[in-house]
Structure 1
Amino acid sequence: MTTPARNHFLRVSAALAAADEDARPLSHANGYELILAQLADHRRQLKLVQSVVRKAEVKRRMLPEYAAWVEGVLAADAGLQDEVLMTVMVWRIDVGDFAGALPLAAYAIRHKLAMPDQYQRTTACLIAEEVANYAIGQATAGGPVDVESVEQVLRLVEQEDMPDEVRAKLHKALAYGLLAQLDKGFKGDAQAQRQQALTHLRRALELHEKCGVKKDIERIEREIKNAAPPGAPPSAPPGNGKS
């Protein structure tokens, strides 16, 4: 149960545990034992749920119970390994809360924190792939895409090592998000938006030939050409995208 007193206890416990190198493993801290036991119980509950959509709904209800702990860890900024923080980061991505996940992702990458064993990927790779998967799924289903957060993730993992296929998926996700905005009453420069999306689609194809964007590129190139005023130069050729 989330109460002001419990939240205060968790914030203080998280900050103290994160700041104390000699307290490792964190299970020696009473606050960490409490929050880790809660996480284990929540994981057991989630295993009983088969529907992916339903799992996301359950996680969304559970996440507020970890807010105080995460706040304490981020405030201490000690950079010690924390399974609760890393799991909460993943859950926030799972429910589409990119804005909530980004501070945790930035903290994790800056301090080179590892993912818990069950995730079997590097931290940067997981962040990039899970954000991309969610954004592509939303765009394909006609839902909203947090384009600004996807752009931030792309910058966040720019110097991180990961398979080219994963980085390609992130560029594809950003392109799909930009294009989705055009379908929802976009009030900016539509031609510039298409060009930006095309740049990311081309970069995705450059990174991974089988990422499934060839037809998208052809379609956007046609749209740009058809919308261009007479005498306008053609769109830039492939290979001009950034990492």
Structure 2
Amino acid sequence: MTNPCRRHFQRVTAAVAAAAVAGPAMTMEGSTVYELHLAKLQQDYLRLKQVQSTEGKAELKKQLLPEYVPYVEGVLAEGKGAQDQVLTTLMVWRMDAGDFTGALDIAEYVIAHSLLMPDRFERTTGTIVAEEIAEVALKTQKAGGTFDLLLLQRTEEIAGSEDMPDQAKAKLHLALGKAYAEKVSDDDTSEIKTVALVMLEAARTHLARAIELHTNCGGKKDLERVERLLKKYAAPAAN
């Protein structure tokens, strides 16, 4: 990691360069600070190509990403939506490295300004953001772990309305449905009923939407459990 003075200089330089280029019809190409980071990105990309292991690539990206933080901060602070291959690539690298909060910080800017992904990425920005995060969440949930509900909610806020294949959107709704559902236990009704019902209703909405988008998404058993718990939690109130 660079020292604080150098970080500040890089951030300010990136901010000034980004502020000078307005609109998605323009590009950051020609800006010295952009060209320097693009050249570094290409060098780091060659390093990554030499690593065959997916885990190894992710670990290397974790080591490389801090060097780009000042540039990202500067562009996000003052950028006006110019095309930026460095920024869009770093968004994906942050997801690959497990930095979903950092990736979403970039994704919010990228989607708001309709920035294009580099040619080597075949999917649209919204599809990449929704699908990559949802797949990690679903993998974690399948293994018996939990995935941050707030991250999934923010993913939906940023990318949920973007055009993407139904199966990709179904993954995001399925992950959200599971995340809401796991907040309510099967055997204990000591939770605050209003909170439990809110969580279950949200879970039902997302799971039903996932199934509607992709019948074989794998959410039917989850939906059955949620329906059963909704009856369980609502029954005392009815009496």
- Could you say which TM-score interval applies, normalised by the shorter chain? 0.7 to 0.9
| Partner Cα distance (1:27, 1:122) in 2 | 21
| Candidates 150, 159, 162, aligned match of 2:161 | 159
Structure 1 contact 171–201 (Cα < 8 Å) conserved: yes
Residue in structure 2 matched with residue 225 of structure 1 by the alignment: 231
1:67 matched to 2:69: yes
Following TM superposition, by how much is the alpha carbon of 1:49 offset from its aligned partner in structure 2, in angstroms?
2.2
Following TM superposition, by how much is the alpha carbon of 1:35 offset from its aligned partner in structure 2, in angstroms?
1.3
> Which residue identity does 2:47 align to in structure 1?
Q
Residue in structure 1 matched with residue 152 of structure 2 by the alignment: 150
| Partner Cα distance (1:57, 1:182) in 2 | 35
- Larger relative contact order (Cα-Cα within 8 Å, sequence gap ≥ 6): 2
Q: Could you list the runs of 5+ residues in structure 2 that have no partner in the other structure?
A: none
Q: CA RMSD in A?
A: 2.6
> Which residue identity does 2:205 align to in structure 1?
T
Alignment of 1:126-141 (within 5 A): 126-141=128-143
Structure 1 contact 13–29 (Cα < 8 Å) conserved: no
| Partner Cα distance (1:111, 1:80) in 2 | 8
Residue in structure 2 matched with residue 240 of structure 1 by the alignment: none
Structure 2 contact 61–93 (Cα < 8 Å) conserved: yes
Alignment: residue pair count: 231
Structure 1 contact 175–197 (Cα < 8 Å) conserved: yes
Structure 1 contact 175–201 (Cα < 8 Å) conserved: yes
| Worse-superposed segment, 221-230 or 197-206 | 221-230
| Worse-superposed segment, 9-18 or 163-172 | 9-18
Residue in structure 2 matched with residue 47 of structure 1 by the alignment: 49
> Which residue identity does 2:204 align to in structure 1?
L
Residue in structure 2 matched with residue 214 of structure 1 by the alignment: 220
Structure 2 contact 15–74 (Cα < 8 Å) conserved: yes
Alignment of 1:186-197 (within 5 A): 189-197=195-203
Structure 2 contact 141–147 (Cα < 8 Å) conserved: yes
Q: Could you list the runs of 5+ residues in structure 1 that have no partner in the other structure?
A: 234-243
| Worse-superposed segment, 107-116 or 12-21 | 12-21
> Which residue identity does 2:82 align to in structure 1?
L
Q: What are the Cα deviations for residues 132-180 of structure 1, in whole angstroms up to 9, with x where unaligned? A: 1111112222333121121122122343222221111110111122234
> Which residue identity does 1:159 align to in structure 2?
S
TM-score (norm 2): 0.84
Following TM superposition, by how much is the alpha carbon of 1:190 offset from its aligned partner in structure 2, in angstroms?
3.4
- Per the alignment, in what secondary structure is the counterpart of residue 49 of structure 1? coil
TM-score (norm 1): 0.83
Structure 1 contact 145–180 (Cα < 8 Å) conserved: no
The 1:34/1:112 distance shift into structure 2, 3 A limit, reads same
Structure 2 contact 178–222 (Cα < 8 Å) conserved: no
- Per the alignment, in what secondary structure is the counterpart of residue 235 of structure 2? coil
| Partner Cα distance (2:50, 2:65) in 1 | 18
| Worse-superposed segment, 224-233 or 11-20 | 224-233
| Partner Cα distance (2:157, 2:125) in 1 | 15
| Candidates 65, 83, 86, aligned match of 1:84 | 86
